[in-house]
Amino acid sequence: MELAIKEALLKHSVDLFGAQIEEKQIQFQKTRKDVEGDLTLVIFPFVKVLKCSPVEAGEKIGHFIKESFTQVERYHVVSGFLNFVITADYWIDALKKIDQTERFGYGVPNSKATMMVEYSSPNTNKPLHLGHLRNNFLGYAVAEILKANGHKVVKTQIINDRGIHICKSMLAWKKFSPLNAQGERETPKNTGIKGDKLVGKYYVEFDKRFNEEAAKIKEEWNLGDFKNTSEDVIEQYKKLTDSKSGKDDKTIKAIDGKIKDLAKNQTSLLREAKEMLIKWEGRDPEVYLLWTTMNSWVYKGFDETYKTMGVDFDKLYYESDTFVLGKDLVTEGLKSGVFYKKPDGSCWIDLTDEGLDEKLVLRSDGTAVYMTQDVGTAVDRFKDYQDLEGIIYTVGNEQDYHFKVLFLILKKLGYSWAENCHHLSYGMVELPKGMGRMKSREGTVVDADDLMESIIEQAKEMTQERGHIDGMTEEDKNNLYSTIGLGGLKYYLLKVDPRKRIVFNPTESIELNGNTGPFIQYAYARIQSLLARAGETAALTNVSIRHEEKEILKQLVEFPSALSEAGKNQSPALVANYMFELVKLYNHFYQSIPILIEEDRELKDMRLVLSRNVAKIIAIGMEILGIRVPKRM
């Protein structure tokens, strides 16, 4: 209706206003709940051109629209706002259209530009954690929203399978893994430990031994023992120690931190890890075999976690492949003057003219950094997909600066498509204080597998307490527990604007009341039960509708706009909160208006068709968010 009114005002603007108006002057907004109306036109932009009061302008425009559209039943002006009441026939016709459209709200598939959405992008030295849950759910949902808007979408991840952190796990496993009776070191097969968790165990072990060695070196320095320490390091240590004199506690603590870092750089463990990285980049057979073996354990573990999450990927990229291209691009950039070398042989880019700083792109020993491989990965992707228009990187907001630099480097290297690369920056997600039982075995981060298992168990307890599952098979019950638990988890992490930090409360996420996934899932299950009891419905006829029914219809009609806005803003929260509003309206309707006991058959059928389409939009919206809906709950 908005579009039709807008077109009429533009077409007849000279007759109506005495001048051609601009489209931006035509502004609609939702009608306030305390006034009558289904659609509101803001009048203030037309007052100047009509040279009259807002009320007079509203009356003139209202009369024109009422005469032009049979769907407008009446209008009234409140100050500078023109409120239209739309006929019941219009809303019934809208319901017919929704009912006849299987994927209402969707654009024509592949009718818009190809977009790539990157998400997850884990390191192969540890399992996925709570932050990865928000990342995966967010990236997956954004990809599905873009698809719904007609984009061709490629879901991808870059697997961080190389670098010093990977070598730390490898080295620790090689040095510290105990041998069993068969003389074998620990593997997922002989321990029963999930592959990513086993490798993560040795990353933690490296860190523990590394810190112990650094503490010992620092203690020796404090005692004046500098054996095996270079003159340069001794000089740095003494300067730092001397600089503590007369300083406050905060400054002394910062200096001690620098001394600790200096000691860490002298550890044999770190030296061995760096040597292993150089060997890996040189394709040393023994190191490369160890790397492929341990990574294969991790990939299998990741696949299990992704399956539980309910996310997927169309294309995988590996930093072990793309870093080589990144190094080649740095070499080319050195020749063209984009990059420069420092005396130690390291390569940098100077971005101070752009308000940033100098950024390392290649270490002095020739090994790559994250930026090197990210440049290589971006170029590789645009080579693989010739029709690719842009990339959306789903990465936490702690990497905001990194992506500013990345996009600038790509532009300076001459890649015009860098303008269409975007960082979907999201806030940190944490658990409430006092929820230590959700911590991982290492006690540092919240393990994704553990969290999902825990929340499914909570959903099981809640569902069993409520009852209503008699007659279900054990398999159906377990599917229901998973559907409710994971649905609550996903919805809770997606209903908040991506840019905002989240404190995730597992118990709140599976409650049946409030803005939760189970609240919406329950509405869907309730409607399925209603429709099963009702049987067949007849064709819709033009019946009168109540306020509650009209409010639901207005919300249903808004679904395409909600999808469109979610795509423009890359925000699944807009879809989640749209559905929450829809379900609140439906619940009010369900509790206050008779459906199955309605004696008027045409009214009864209309209410059943209305219910059916509310369920359809719930299913579509939740599917876009990666959430299943149960027929029984």
Q: Do residues 85 and 37 make contact, with C-beta atoms less than 8 angstroms apart? A: yes
- Nearest Cα neighbor of 87 from 103, 96, 75 is 75
Mean pLDDT of 133-152: 98
Token pair belonging to 374: 């990210």
* Whole-number pLDDT of residue 188: 97
* Whole-number pLDDT of residue 281: 87
pLDDT at residue 96 tops 90: yes
Q: Do residues 493 and 516 make contact, with C-beta atoms less than 8 angstroms apart? A: no
pLDDT at residue 440 tops 70: no
Token pair belonging to 609: 């068709």
pLDDT tens-digit map of 573-583: 999 999 999 99
- Strand 421-426 and strand 388-396: the pairing is parallel
- Nearest Cα neighbor of 263 from 226, 212, 217, 208 is 217
Q: Do residues 579 and 518 make contact, with C-beta atoms less than 8 angstroms apart? A: no
* Whole-number pLDDT of residue 438: 42
| Residue 73: C-alpha distances to residues 37, 85, 549 (Å) | 10, 6, 17
HSE at residue 572, side-chain half, CA atoms within 13 A, is: 31
- Strand 340-341 and strand 39-42: the pairing is unpaired
Mean pLDDT of 486-507: 95
Q: Which are the contacts of 356, defined by CB distance < 8 A and separation ≥ 6?
A: 401, 404, 405, 408
pLDDT tens-digit map of 230-267: 999 999 999 999 999 999 999 999 999 999 999 999 99
Over its C-alpha atoms, the chain yields an Rg (Å, rounded) of 31
* Whole-number pLDDT of residue 504: 92
Sorted by where each begins, the domain ranges of the chain are 2-86, 447-624
Q: Which are the contacts of 8, defined by CB distance < 8 A and separation ≥ 6?
A: 64, 65, 68, 69
Q: Do residues 193 and 177 make contact, with C-beta atoms less than 8 angstroms apart? A: no
Q: Which are the contacts of 72, defined by CB distance < 8 A and separation ≥ 6?
A: 65, 66, 84, 85, 86, 87
pTM above 0.95, yes or no: no
Token pair belonging to 120: 């997850």
pLDDT tens-digit map of 291-336: 999 999 999 999 999 999 999 999 999 999 998 999 999 999 999 9
Q: Which are the contacts of 318, defined by CB distance < 8 A and separation ≥ 6?
A: 158, 159, 161
For residue 271, the tally of other CB atoms under 10 A from its CB is: 11
With tokens 């109506």, the residue in question is 16
Mean pLDDT of 19-27: 92
DSSP 596: T
Q: What angle do CA 436, 440, 444 make, to 5 degrees?
A: 80
pLDDT tens-digit map of 189-205: 999 999 999 999 999 99
- Nearest Cα neighbor of 565 from 555, 556, 575 is 575
HSE at residue 104, side-chain half, CA atoms within 13 A, is: 21
pLDDT averaged over every residue in the chain: 94
- Nearest Cα neighbor of 593 from 582, 608, 574 is 608
Window from 438-442, 451-455, 474-478, 608-612 with minimum mean pLDDT: 438-442
Share of the chain above pLDDT 70, in %: 98
CATH code of domain 447-624: 1.10.730.10
- Nearest Cα neighbor of 1 from 62, 71, 58, 66 is 71
| Residue 57: C-alpha distances to residues 17, 44, 64, 150, 430 (Å) | 9, 9, 11, 39, 53
* Whole-number pLDDT of residue 162: 87
CATH code of domain 2-86: 3.30.1360.70
For residue 278, the tally of other CB atoms under 10 A from its CB is: 14
pLDDT tens-digit map of 519-530: 999 999 999 999
Burial 78-88 (b: 16+ CB within 10 A, else e): bebbbbbbbbb
DSSP helix/strand/coil, 84:
strand
pLDDT at residue 549 tops 70: yes
Exposed, middle or buried: residue 607 (CB in 10 Å: 0-12, 13-18, 19+)? Answer: buried
Exposed, middle or buried: residue 560 (CB in 10 Å: 0-12, 13-18, 19+)? Answer: middle
As a whole number of angstroms, the distance between CA 246 and CA 248 comes to: 7
Confidence of residue 382 (pLDDT cuts 50, 70, 90): very high
Confidence of residue 437 (pLDDT cuts 50, 70, 90): very low
Q: Do residues 261 and 236 make contact, with C-beta atoms less than 8 angstroms apart? A: no
With tokens 């601009």, the residue in question is 22
- Nearest Cα neighbor of 256 from 222, 297, 220, 212 is 222
